[in-house]
């Protein structure tokens, strides 16, 4: 198995504002986008930088403003709690929640179709769904092109009887065993593995 195909250990950082509801705390909004770090220490440093800031929602996630500003002692207390993996800091009717969780993830990578480690090759023999979207209309609807077992041919791929020629040098991006995508002609193609109940 190629290193690019293997899952690796990372640490994921979650920060969120909660609000008191009738049955406990409810999510108000996530502060940061999906974030992976190579070590727990890196994740805690990133949390410290966020906590020392405004704790408004990152623009990649949304545009919410923090319901209140933390005092210095609250920042310190929150970061000490977070070192254990999880932190919940009640503040009036709000609370700041944080978690540093160890996860195993595959990373997105790119390789040409002819390369044996190309992400599309990890899907060979699996049931997949092939979709396409026009490149000139990124908001356009995806159209299902084919569904079935993926076969790789020297000149391209075949899914459920549908053949798509691919140049050997075309770059394919994806996550091993999960998905692959590429641009060909006027279209963006997206291929993803189907689970047991996906038909």
Is the pLDDT confidence value at 178 over 90?
yes
Provide the pLDDT for residue 197: 65
Cα–Cα nearest to 160, from 144, 182, 173: 144
The reply to whether CATH 2.30.29 applies to domain 109-193 is: yes
Kindly list the domain boundaries of the chain, sorted by start residue: 3-104, 109-193
Average pLDDT over the chain reads 94
Provide the pLDDT for residue 11: 97
pLDDT digits over 52-104, tens only? 999 999 999 899 999 999 999 999 999 999 999 999 999 999 999 999 999 99
Cα–Cα nearest to 138, from 172, 197, 181: 181
Provide the pLDDT for residue 152: 96
Strand bridging mode 162-165 / 156-159: antiparallel
Residue 29 in contact with residue 57, Cβ under 8 Å?
yes
Distance CA 144, CA 129 (A): 7
Q: How far is CA 65 from the centre of its chain?
A: 24
Is the pTM above the cut of 0.85?
Answer: no
Query: What average pLDDT does the segment 43-47 reach?
Result: 96
Cα–Cα nearest to 113, from 156, 159, 55, 65: 156
Q: Give first-to-last CA distance, the chain, whole Å.
A: 28
Is the pLDDT confidence value at 199 over 80?
no
């Amino acid at each position: 198995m190629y290193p690019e195909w293997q899952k690796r250990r990372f640490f994921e950082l979650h920060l969120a504002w909660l609000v008191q509801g009738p049955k406990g705390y409810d999510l108000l909004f996530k502060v940061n986008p999906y974030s992976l770090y190579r070590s727990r220490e890196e994740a805690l440093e990133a949390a410290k930088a966020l906590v020392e800031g405004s704790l408004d929602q990152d623009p990649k996630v949304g545009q919410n403003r923090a319901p209140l500003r933390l005092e210095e002692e609250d920042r310190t207390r929150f970061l000490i709690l977070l070192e254990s993996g999880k932190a919940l800091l009640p503040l009036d009717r709000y609370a700041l929640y944080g978690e540093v969780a160890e996860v195993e993830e595959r990373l997105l990578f790119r390789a040409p179709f002819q390369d044996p480690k190309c992400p599309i090759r990890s899907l060979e023999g699996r049931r997949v769904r092939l979709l396409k979207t026009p490149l000139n209309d990124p908001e356009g609807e995806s159209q299902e092109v084919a569904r079935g077992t993926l076969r790789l041919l020297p000149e391209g791929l075949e899914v459920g009887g549908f053949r798509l020629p691919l140049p050997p040098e075309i770059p394919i991006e994806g996550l091993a065993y999960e998905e692959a995508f590429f641009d060909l002609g006027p279209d963006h193609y997206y291929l993803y593995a189907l689970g047991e109940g996906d038909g």
